[in-house]
Structure 1
């Protein structure tokens, strides 16, 4: 009887162990069958970017430029960014300009003035910046005008439009014949080709002591702008 009891006890223990093992296997199988998620490094590239994203300095896929926020750069109605109009026009050339001069002296002024006008006839917009070169031809030689100290901003001269600058000079009130002016030579800014015109101002300049030129030239636009 003792032998039978031991045998029954041993079988019971073995059955219990077998049941526990089966339960563990079932639990493991249940875990393997459930959906899995992972945040392991295999889901991103080595440099930290997600798979499929371009690295380095690759170009944009769009046809327009964009800023760092991904939005396109602003353009005006002509397709140019604001402020590009001046940079898009070239310098006005002498052959594109009609140059005229007229007396602009007003009674009571301390000095006499002549207004020189550039009219754009080149078929394109162009830029004039700074001061024109001005020389007065006289019976005593050439008198070159000296620039005034005024600001000289660039001017975009539309095709067919005009802009003027002034020449100032002292009146000859000495009672003598003075220096007789025979012609006016004008060179547009940033150009080397000159235009010679008849002098429309007073017939003569006062004789100076040679300490400096009495003739002054203002910047482009200093005598107003025509239509």
Structure 2
């Protein structure tokens, strides 16, 4: 009886060995190997370098498109100009002259050309200056630099009271905003019956380049 029990036990052990071997072999195929999964998903060093190279290239393109186009200099605006006027009459001249200076008080270069608008305020109403017809090229003003133009007007030598000048209105070229200045020239204009205005204005730069 003891011999039969040992025999059955030996048979049971022998029968279980193939089954365990099969289960071990099947389980290895069904489970994912963590090391092999990591190897399949992690980028290779060459892929990482290519990705890094593409990223700076994209940033460089964006920076280039945001840069100023062709370096164009914008026009001078009234608010960034310091405008002053002084008597510039030369002894012996039949007419009086006032020089108007426009100084760039901004932080950027700006440009202006052509004629400024000029009106004399008088006790008889405004007198608009007529353009002299002179030609002048554009002036580029760096910060702190200035340019000037001249105003020519007839001097009142008639002995009468004439037309009293009370102020000067200046509008920079291509601008709509004006500034009002004290008139530094002769106090009056002669009374005239001639049509048109006796006051003339020169183009930007006609009174010399400022410092």
Same fold at TM > 0.5 = yes
Aligned to 1:163: 147
Shift of 1:208: 1.3
Aligned mates of 1:135, 1:210 — CA distance in 2: 18
The alignment status of 1:148 with 2:144, answered yes or no, reads no
2:197 matched to which residue of 1? 213
Which ranges of structure 1 fall in alignment gaps of 5 or more residues?
1-79
Higher RCO (CA < 8 A, seq sep 6+): 2
- Structure 1 contact 131–152 (Cα < 8 Å) conserved: no
SS in structure 2 of the partner of residue 141 of structure 1 = coil
What aligned pairs does 1:53-72 form with structure 2 within 5 A after superposition?
none
More helix by share: 2
Q: Please state how far the C-alpha of 1:210 moved relative to its aligned partner.
A: 4.1
Provide, for residues 74-97 of structure 1, a one-character-per-residue CA deviation record: whole Å limited to 9, x for no partner.
Answer: xxxxxx9xxx77xx1101000000
**Equivalent pairs, count:** 144
Unaligned runs of 5+ in 2: 1-67
Matches within 5 A, 1:79-98: 88-98=72-82
Q: 2:176 aligns with which of 192, 211, 219?
A: 192
- The answer to whether the 8 A contact 1:128-1:189 is kept is yes
- SS state at 1:209 partner: coil
The CA deviation at 1:152 is 2.6
3-state SS in 2 of match to 1:134:
strand
Q: TM-score, normalised by structure 2?
A: 0.66
Change (3 A) 1:141 1:210: farther
Q: Given the two structures, how large is their TM-score scaled by the length of structure 1?
A: 0.61
Does the 8 A contact of 1:126 with 1:157 survive in 2? yes
User: How does 1:110-129 map onto structure 2 within 5 Å?
Assistant: 110-129=94-113
Q: CA deviation at 1:224?
A: 0.5
- Residue range with higher mean Cα deviation, 135-144 or 145-154: 145-154
Q: Deviation per CA, 1:92-149, whole angstroms, max 9, x where unpaired?
A: 0000000000000010012100000000011110011100000000000000000011
Runs of 4 or more, structure 1, over 6 Å off, are none
Q: Distance in 2 between matches of 1:92 and 1:143?
A: 25
**In the TM superposition, what whole-angstrom CA distance separates every residue of 1:28-71 from its partner, at most 9, and x where no partner exists?**
xxxxxxxxxxxxxxxxxxxxxxxxxxxxxxxxxxxxxxxxxxxx
